[in-house]
A and B are shown apart, each in its own frame.
Chain A
Amino acid sequence: MKSKDRGWFYIAVLTLILAVTWAVMTAWSRNKQSTIPPDIEKIMAPLNPKLDSVILNKLQQKTP
């Protein structure tokens, strides 16, 4: 009877460890997941405001 009750104790400890691990993993994956919608991500893409002046000067030189 004693060893049987100790067995329940071990099962309880392992179940608790499993539950805590599961909870931590769920929280971690939730924290990693991005909440930014894809269309907003597309709008957020950076824009380079500089114009290639070398090419534009070359074009001006080509003008007859």
Chain B
Amino acid sequence: MDNIKSGYQKYFAFIQPVVNDPLLRVYFSLALSLFLITFLVIFALSPTVNTVLGLRKKIMDEEVIIAALDAKINALVAAGENYNQQATPLALLNQALPDKPYPDGLIANVLGTATVSGVTVSSLQFKPVALTGDDNTDVNFSLSVAGSQIQLRDFLVKLENSLRYIRLGKMVVVFNGENGPTVDGQVTGYFSRNR
């Protein structure tokens, strides 16, 4: 019993100056109160406020999503109506700019135009085309055609104005005396993968 009493006396001796002095007592209580408030801010207030703010933010974001999706639905309906109105020209667009290289279409185009213009295709050579990857959107080939000057001019004009999107590159006209002129050139046909 005496041991317990002497133990408490030791603690009392430590806090006695604090208890006796009113100024120290005020500072001591204030400091303890502030530490308690800090503890509550960290472990009680902050998580609660964060949860409330998180839920509020989620509700706001979901309202934004609903508004954006509503706008997109309306845009899709309008796009569907526009598509139905322009169905024929859109089919032409698929021919003009297909989603795959279709070199066979280009060959048919060149040969058909050559037949119409009355020129002879003596050479048609395609460069390799990457079948995968989004970067590549062109098919390059070289051609060599022979005919009269008027026929060759007509062929080139018709080829460049053909429905399939084609761009003529460097063209070299070679005059071979009696055989008539020939045109050697580079041609690029285009396609669009991301459609």
Contact = CB atoms under 8 A, between A and B. Distances in A.
A5 B28 CA distance: 7
B65 A44 contact: yes
Contacts of B79: 47, 49, 51
Nearest to B95: A59
Interface footprint category on A? 35 or more
B38 A16 contact: yes
B189 to A, nearest CB: 15
Contacts of B37: 16
Contacts of B32: 12
Question: Lowest 9 A-B CB distances belong to which pairs?
Answer: A12-B34, A56-B89, A49-B79, A49-B78, A23-B46, A44-B68, A12-B31, A47-B75, A5-B27
12 contacts: A8-B31, A9-B30, A12-B31, A22-B46, A23-B45, A23-B46, A26-B50, A30-B53, A31-B56, A40-B65, A60-B92, A64-B163
Interface of B: 17-18, 21, 23-24, 27-28, 30-32, 34-35, 37-38, 41-42, 45-46, 49-50, 53-54, 56-58, 61, 64-65, 68-69, 71-72, 75-79, 82-83, 86, 88-90, 92-93, 96, 161-163
